[in-house]
Amino acid sequence: MEVAAKNSLLVCTQLECETTEEMQASIEQAKVEGADLVELCIDSMEFSHISEVDKLIQHPTLPAIVSYSDEACKNTCLQVLRRALDLDVEFVEMDYEVASDPLMSEIIYSRSNTKIIVSSYLNGGGKPTTEKLGDVIACMQATGADVMKLEIAVDSITDLAPVFEMLTHCQVPLIALAVGSRGLISQLLGPKFGGFLVYGSLGGKSVPGLPTLVSLKQVYQLEHINPDTKIFGLVSNPVGHSKGPILHNPAFRHTRFNGIYVPMLVDDVKEFFRTYSGTDFAGFSVGIPHKEPAVACCDEVHPLAKSIGAVNTIIRRPIDGKLVGYNTDCESAISAIEDALRERQGINGVASHTSPIAGKIFVLVGAGGAGRALAFGAKSRGARVIIFNRNYERAKALADAVSGEALHFEYLHEFFPEKGMILANASAIGMEPNSDQSPVPKEALKAYELVFDAVYTPRNTRLLREAAEVGATVVSGVEMFIRQALGQFRLFTGGLAPEDFMRKLVLEQF
């Protein structure tokens, strides 16, 4: 399944500035970052005379959408929009209520070259449905709109399913913008379902529900997306830390596979898989806190993943649409630890063909999905597994499953029955934004021969820095990330993964 030719998708950014000078500077920055057009939110500006707006509209360096949405200043709104129409700006955007005004209706029908975008903001009134959205679209279309825009407040990622259906079937160009962090895929997947344009934020600014302009152009390259593109993504909460998109999307393009990989902020994993059950949604990485609950969402589970009780990868099998769960965390983490220990032992002249983990005390922090993978992997190599978790009952249950031992979390800092142990952090302690934290004090790290941290943002966590300072071999979560991602990519595409390309990409980005 090869990458398609480029489509005619437009990438836009909304500009809200107080002065003409600031607006012009932002337009120039948008151009540098790859925007195809800009939305000039005139209601954000402070101006004393309409002539100031004229200057902005008459000499743009990018095609523009002129919008004014301050309902409290209706006269100014009408004046600005009329002036934009007189000056033949590329697009004028107005609220449905403004477009329905008899005075504006006359102007709309007598315009020359300007395209009219009529927008409607939906907030409250329950979850969006195809019927509700269809009614709103019909009302907007009746105004004579050339393009329609739906701006929707969503409470869940599953609220977007009827929006995608509207994009697919709408006869008039439609823009869909879902507000809030759970609406991000409305922009990233909009082109697949027929969206007229997508929005990105300027200057790397973090805006909930919006990708950055730079990521749209460099990471996602949505101009290659088409109706046949297969959707993959990280099902997690949170998802902001994920480096998956900067790895999988370039790898898809490198191998000419027609796919896109996006972050999916999911609250209810069962509802998510019930909602997005079509073959377009072809595969998923599964992250915190869904690795264990997602097992129940699968029609089939690979034996290793079943024994672990957690999946980190789910594939929708093309021949029958069934969801099949896998765990690539286990082998990637354990093999990374083994390779590092073999290298250390090789340097000391103590090479061995058996697992260097065998017989060692393997101290595990965390009993979630990643913790389970590490526990089962360590057990399979003959290690003695000791588990610490803030929830002791979870630690005890996992310890029983791997014939290990569970201890209360508060004893972790004073646990050193012998030297040469292995420490593996599978908790979120030390992950950004709490990168100043560590699960184990520096002094206690002297008892460990090797320290592994599944956290990969930041790459060099406080735990790893302090472990290296006391002489331990350290293994970053980045290495586990690379190895499990290679396994996932093979499952996603049904083929080989470009290992050298993907490894180089990750190491450059972290």
Catalytic residue ranges: 291
Pair 507, 263: CB distance under 8 Å: no
Q: Looking at residue 168, what DSSP letter applies?
A: H
Map tokens 């019930």 to a residue: 274
Ranges of beta strands (E only) in 222-366 are: 230-236, 259-265, 281-286, 300-301, 313-316, 323-326, 361-365
User: What is residue 302's three-state secondary structure?
Assistant: coil
Q: CA 102, 108, 110: angle at the middle one, nearest 5?
A: 110
Pair 122, 149: CB distance under 8 Å: no
Q: Which residues pair with 210 in a beta bridge?
A: 207
Distance between CA atoms of residues 247 and 249, nearest Å? 6
Q: Looking at residue 216, what DSSP letter applies?
A: I
Output the CA–CA distances (angstroms, integers) from residue 236 to 15, 239, 284, in the order listed.
31, 6, 10
**Amino acid letter, residue 343:** E
Distance between CA atoms of residues 275 and 279, nearest Å? 12
Pair 485, 499: CB distance under 8 Å: no
Map tokens 């260097």 to a residue: 356
Angle separating helix axes 329-347 and 369-380, nearest 10 degrees: 50
